[in-house]
Amino acid sequence: MSKRLLVVTLVLALLIPLLAVSAQDQPVVTVTWWATERGRDTAATRDMHFTLARTFEESHPNIRVALSMYPSRAFATRVLTAIAAGEGPDVFYHYFSPDIALQGFLEDLTPYIEASGAAANWFPSGVNRGVYDGHTYAVPRDAVSGFIAYNKDLFDAAGLPYPEDGWTIADYRALANQLTDRDNDTYGVGAIVGGEGCMLWSPFSFNLGGELTSPDGRDVVGYMDSPETVAAMTWCLELVTEDQVTAPVELQDQFGELVFLSGKVAMQSISDWELAAISEQATFNWGVVAPPRFNEESEVIPWTDSYMYYLWNGSDHKEAAWELINWLTGPEAQRIAAEAGVWSPNGPAIWEELGWDEDPIRGVSYNQLVNSERVPNYLRSQYFWDCVAGPLSDVRVRWIEGGERDVATMMAEGAAQAQACLDDNYGE
């Protein structure tokens, strides 16, 4: 017995250094990771990305990360040019639609995800966001939801109670009217709501009951011109011209934090992405509340979104690239990003660990995220912005500037135009 033990010990003693040597001899591979700046806290964002890369390298000594950061403005051009030339990044994140997989340069991540079981850690809508045609081509970098920020000072001055969870779009409209005082340049509603933005980028797009495209993003006829969507769009446009409760259009920026920060807007549809700017720069008291539901009988439908990580299928180091993606979407990297204030975590565990689920501001978003599985249909099509957004915007222009009021006809014309463009792009 003791002889056997001695032999085993000797063999192990010989093997362990050999294994260690062979591990050291594994070639070091370099994975390229391309990321974008976010427009604010530029240095902090850049430092956080490099912290992520270096932290990953410490725990993965055989993988080196070559990180490049670009302006988000032209990131797609940079990535697509490099991919077309066969020099694409192994890993990149962006705001692509999942059906960009049709173009054939995204790696199908389904087997990697199934093997790792990582999806169980992410918010369900983030998982669904990367699925196209039953396959997962992208995984969530972060997670945000849409909610309503409100100016407490304006509510107090008007003697109105703050909005609470469970309110309806009728309550929202009534409050917007009560809080508007155009003589003093004070408005009930800010950017996004009151135009085509009402149907995009905000929880109103769901809670008004309309849809712009089919679930696969390829059809607009029957969706954009449906009676429900026509009614929803009419509701949005009436806020501008009939109720006149929206801030002047020239003061509206796309995502709304600027006009809300003026202190002259009572309610503004925002998401976690705008929270940092509002937290730092608001000169008034403010709060947030879940979006209004359609009516007393309906449930509120959360609107969520996220940036996604992609793996280029031309990568020479797919396993190493997946290692990086898996780590970046895992708890350690998510905690680093959240603590740096750069983006909010892609799964509930870190939110809870940081106490955000109990936070009066973040908690509202957390409740939306854990209760949402739905991905906005309009985010399903890579051609949405080229084909559908324009005709939808035309409806607003015709209503506001042209004085036309037949929304059903305008939406039907827009849908036909958008459908022709989609069919052309999808080769149908």
Partner 1 sequence: MLANRIARPESGALGSAPLGKNRVWHNVFGYGALLIVAAALMLPLYWMVSTAVKSPAQMFEIPPAWIPNPVDFSSFPKVFQEVPFGRFLVNTIIIVALNIVGHLVSVTLIAYGFARLRFPGRSVLFLIMLSTLMIPYHVTLVPRFILFSKLGWINTYLPLTVPAFTGSAFLIFLVRQYMMSIPFDLDEAAYIDGASRFGVFWRIILPLSRPALMLVIVFTFVGTWNDFLQPLIYLNDPNMFTVSLGLSFFQGARETNWNLLMAGSLLATIPPLILFFIAQRQLIGGISIEGLKG
Whole-angstrom Cα distance, residue 229 to residue 222?
10
* Whole-angstrom distance, CA of residue 58 vs CA of residue 3: 41
Q: Identify whether the C-beta of residue 406 lies closer than 8 Å to the C-beta of residue 412.
A: no
User: Which of 199, 156, 200 has its CA nearest to residue 179?
Assistant: 156
In the complex, the smallest distance separating the C-beta of residue 280 from partner 1, rounded to whole angstroms, is 8
The correct pick among 29, 57, 70, 332 for binding partner 1 (CB under 8 A) is 70
Judged by CB under 8 A, which of 51, 55, 62, 72 binds partner 1? 72
| Residue 61 phi, psi dihedral angles, 5° rounding | -65, -15
Structure tokens at 396: 């607003």
Listed ranges 34-42, 57-65, 123-131, 225-233: which one lies at the site for partner 1 (CB under 8 A): 34-42
Q: Is 264 in the site for partner 1 (CB under 8 A)?
A: yes
Close Cβ partners of 399 (under 8 Å, ≥ 6 residues apart): 237, 240, 241, 405, 407, 410
**Cβ nearer to partner 1, comparing 66 with 115:** 66
CA distances for 289 relative to 187, 229, 297, 300, 417, angstroms: 18, 24, 19, 12, 37
Closest CA to 412 of 174, 225, 211, 200: 225
| Contact status: 104 vs partner 1 (CB under 8 A) | no
CB of residue 197 vs partner 1: minimum separation in angstroms?
Answer: 14
Q: Which is nearer to partner 1, 248 or 402 (CB)?
A: 248
Binding residue for partner 1, selected from 48, 63, 258, 379, defined by CB under 8 A:
258
| Among the listed residues 11, 15, 26, 71, the single contact to partner 1 using CB under 8 A | 71
- CB nearer partner 1, residue 280 or residue 299: 280
From 118-126, 253-261, 285-293, 376-384, span contacting partner 1 (CB under 8 A) = 253-261
Is residue 87 at the binding interface for partner 1, with CB under 8 A as the rule? Answer: yes
Figure out which of the listed residues 57, 64, 69, 313 binds partner 1, where binding follows CB under 8 A. Answer: 69
Map the footprint of partner 1 across residues 281-300, applying CB under 8 A: 281, 283
| 266 backbone dihedrals φ, ψ, rounded to 5° | -80, -40
Instruction: Using alpha carbons, select from 276, 299, 286 the residue that is nearest to residue 367.
Output: 299
CA distance 44 to 42: 6
Query: Does residue number 84 form part of the binding site for partner 1 (CB under 8 A)?
Result: yes
**CA 405/CA 350 separation, integer angstroms:** 48
The binder of partner 1 chosen from 40, 54, 152, 182 (CB under 8 A):
40
Q: Which helix (H) or strand (E) holds 57?
A: helix 42-59
Residue with tokens 């069919």: 423
Question: What is the residue type of 267?
Answer: M
Binders of partner 1 among 159-188, rule CB under 8 A? 185
Stretch that binds partner 1, among 33-41, 54-62, 116-124, 146-154 (CB under 8 A): 33-41
The token pair at 353 is: 């660990």
Q: Which is nearer to partner 1, 245 or 410 (CB)?
A: 245
Contact between 103 and partner 1 by CB under 8 A: the answer reads no
Q: Is 274 in the site for partner 1 (CB under 8 A)?
A: yes
Minimum CB separation of residue 183 from partner 1 in Å reads: 12
Q: Strand pairing partners for 63?
A: 29
Number of separate helices (H) and strands (E) present in the chain? 18, 12
Which residue type does 282 have? A
* Identified binder of partner 1 from the candidate list 240, 261, 324, 325, rule CB under 8 A: 261
> By the criterion CB under 8 A, which residues form the site for partner 1?
36-43, 46, 66, 68-74, 77-78, 81-82, 84-87, 95, 185, 247-248, 251, 255, 257-259, 261-265, 273-274, 276-277, 281, 283
